[in-house]
Amino acid sequence: MCGIIAYVGKQNSAPILLEGLKKLEYRGYDSAGISVCNRENIITVKSAGKVEELENKLGKRKISGTIGIAHTRWATHGKPNDINSHPHADCQENIHLVHNGIIENYQELKKFLQKKKHKFKSETDSEVLAHLIEEFGKNLGFKDAVLEALKMIRGTYGLAIISKKEQGKMLVARNGSPLVIGVGDGECVIASDVSALICHTDKVIYLEDGEVAEIDKDGYSITNIKNKKVNKEISKLTWNIEKSQKGGFPHFMLKEIFEQPEAIRNCLRGRIDKFLKDENFPVLGGLKPVEKKLRKINKIIIVACGTSYYSGLVGKYMFEEYAGISTEVEYASEFRYRKSVLCGRTAVIAISQSGETADTLAAIREAKSRGALTLGIVNVVGSSISRETDGGSYTLSGPEIGVASTKAFTSQITVLALWTMMFGRQRKMTFSATEKIAKELKKIPEMVEKIVKNNKDIKKIAKKYMTAENFLYMGRKYNYPIAMEGALKIKEISYIHAEGYPSGEMKHGPIALIDEDFPSIFICPKDSVYEKNISGIQEIKARGGKIIAVATEGDKNMKKIADDVIYIPKTLEMLTPMLAVVPLQMFAYYFGVLKGFNVDQPRNLAKSVTVE
């Protein structure tokens, strides 16, 4: 999704901005652009395509200037071409801005401005704002004009704005689209995402919705939209540059698959050891403030999107089986517009890697406004969802750069297992039942290590099925969500049609698809539904379908039934999703790589979906 990087300081801004744009590439985009204050002028260069193409366009032109803004665009209004790329300017080319988000009333505003003789160059909603500021700027200074313009906007924005008339100054504003100010020594780097600025500073200020910062070489001041001063704390980043780079792997996705044992260990660290000693609760600091309320809840609604939604489904099975709390899982995009039944005893849990997904954030706001207790399971520290929920836990899996979510998923399930122990202990779950989960959770990282070491065999299987154009993924009970997630992964990375199904549903339709060219991936560990799954596999075999099975180590029988078998270690049924998903992530990865696709930045996808 769109990315912003901006600089105010003493250094030449263009190289810093280009480097920042490259760091934002992982978010997915289709064009890029840059504007730099250069003496009396502002110079803008924009290009459809990759940042490399923007660099080529800039060529040997030495644009020097210590203030600049830059953007990677993911098209929403108008095609991805040079003109629609950001930065956008007003008629006189005094105001230049980059914008993340969507201005919902842009057509109305455009008509109003056209009547006042403003001429538009692009099809975007963002350009409207530059003209609106120009309009107010006829009677007001730069900041006041921006504030007035913002008051007229309906929608979401993360903005960085510069003006030819007040060079040396930048205004940045946020409403619904994340924006972080990195505070350095005599300089500020502003970005939509900390990964673009961690190489400059680890001191950051997270802007909240409705806040506007005025930045120049001497520092910054922050107000709300009514120009009332706001005091903000500086936070210290715990991520480092090394952590957000590839570390010897060919792709971020593979690196992140291999990082899962460490990510799960980080997620567990300090949270269960004390519990195992003093027979109480797992240590979950972020739930402390709401502990009493949690004891009273009798309904949980999990809201999330994509991969995070599937981890939520695993959570539902855990919460209901062990804590006895009725749990629903809903796509955040549905929840936000539906009138679901909420009350003071309902907890709404948002699960999100980025913590910025627009639909999930909106769902949480809706739940809050209707009196529900809101909780977050989030990876990015300081992100909007983590700040706006009443309590929650970080997944602590470190930066996830690959667009396809992998380590965030297994860490989300880790947190869900910890929360199951917590909710269970608050109700009727015995210490020994909880202890069993805790002890087994501690073994999971080693088990995942064993699976990822099997990468060569998984690659071979991917090669064998390279000509397949469709896949059916099936699993039951705890592994039904894994079938869905496996299918999503291969769709995203390999552009292959795949469907995920609960295996019991196979006979109610999907089996009609099966023939020798339509392989099925069956998640069939030795669990309470093993026999049921075996029957499903036999039914597919009887119709000439090929089977790749994910089975439990030692299940020799599976070798006789399935065409190919990937083994995973034995664990508790509720934790098998954390193991079963790993070979499916790797299968999708190798499939995509063998097809020659860009697995880290698949077409049409964005890492952080900050628009509806």
Name the site residues for ligand M6R (rule: CB under 6 A): 305-308, 352-354, 357, 360, 403-405, 492, 605, 608-609
Shortest Cβ distance from residue 333 to ligand M6R (Å)? 10
Contacts within 8 Å (CB) and 24+ apart, 16-21: 16/68, 16/189, 16/200, 17/68, 17/69, 17/70, 18/51, 18/54, 18/55, 18/58, 18/70, 19/199, 20/70, 20/189, 20/191, 20/196, 20/197, 21/51, 21/54, 21/70, 21/71, 21/72, 21/196
Instruction: Give all strands (DSSP E) within 148-274, no chain letters.
Output: 157-163, 170-175, 180-183, 188-191, 203-206, 211-216, 219-224, 235-236
Residue 478, phi-psi category: left (phi > 0), alpha (psi -120 to 50), beta (remainder):
alpha
Closer Cβ to ligand M6R, 18 or 191, answer by number? 191
To the nearest whole angstrom, how small is the minimum distance from the Cβ of residue 488 to ligand M6R?
6
| SS3 state at 300 | strand
Q: Tell me the three state secondary structure of residue 477.
A: helix
Closer of 72 and 201 to ligand M6R (Cβ) = 72
Angle CA 522–528–532, to nearest 5:
50
Least Å distance, CB 517 to ligand M6R, is: 27
Q: Is residue 46 annotated as part of the catalytic site, yes or no?
A: no
Q: How far is the CB of 485 from ligand M6R (least distance, A)?
A: 8
Residue 143's nearest CA partner among 244, 27, 260, 229 is: 229
d(CA 21, CA 189): 12
**Is the distance from CB of 452 to CB of 257 less than 8 angstroms?**
yes
- Indicate the residue among 306 and 445 with the shorter CB distance to ligand M6R: 306
Shortest approach of ligand M6R to residue 231 CB, angstroms? 30
The DSSP 8-state label assigned to residue 305 in this structure reads -
Smaller CB distance to ligand M6R: residue 142 or 480? 480
Closer Cβ to ligand M6R, 232 or 243, answer by number: 243
Angstrom distances, CA of residue 535 to CA of 147, 213, 428, 524, 532? 65, 63, 35, 11, 5
Three-class secondary structure of residue 562 per DSSP = coil
**Angle, vertex CA 159, rays to CA 154 and CA 165, nearest 5:** 110
Of 2, 188, 305, 524, which is the active-site residue? 2
* Of 44 and 360, CB closest to ligand M6R: 360
Is 460 an active-site residue?
Answer: no
Cα gap 340→338, rounded to integer Å: 6
Q: In whole angstroms, how close is the CB of 357 to ligand M6R at the nearest point?
A: 3
- Report the residue number whose CB is nearest to ligand M6R: 306
- Catalytic residue, from 46, 489, 491, 607: name it: 607
- For ligand M6R, give the closer residue by CB, 213 or 483: 483
Instruction: Give Cβ neighbours of residue 247 (< 8 Å, ≥ 6 apart).
Output: 255
CB 569 to ligand M6R: min, Å: 24
Name the residues annotated as catalytic: 2, 607
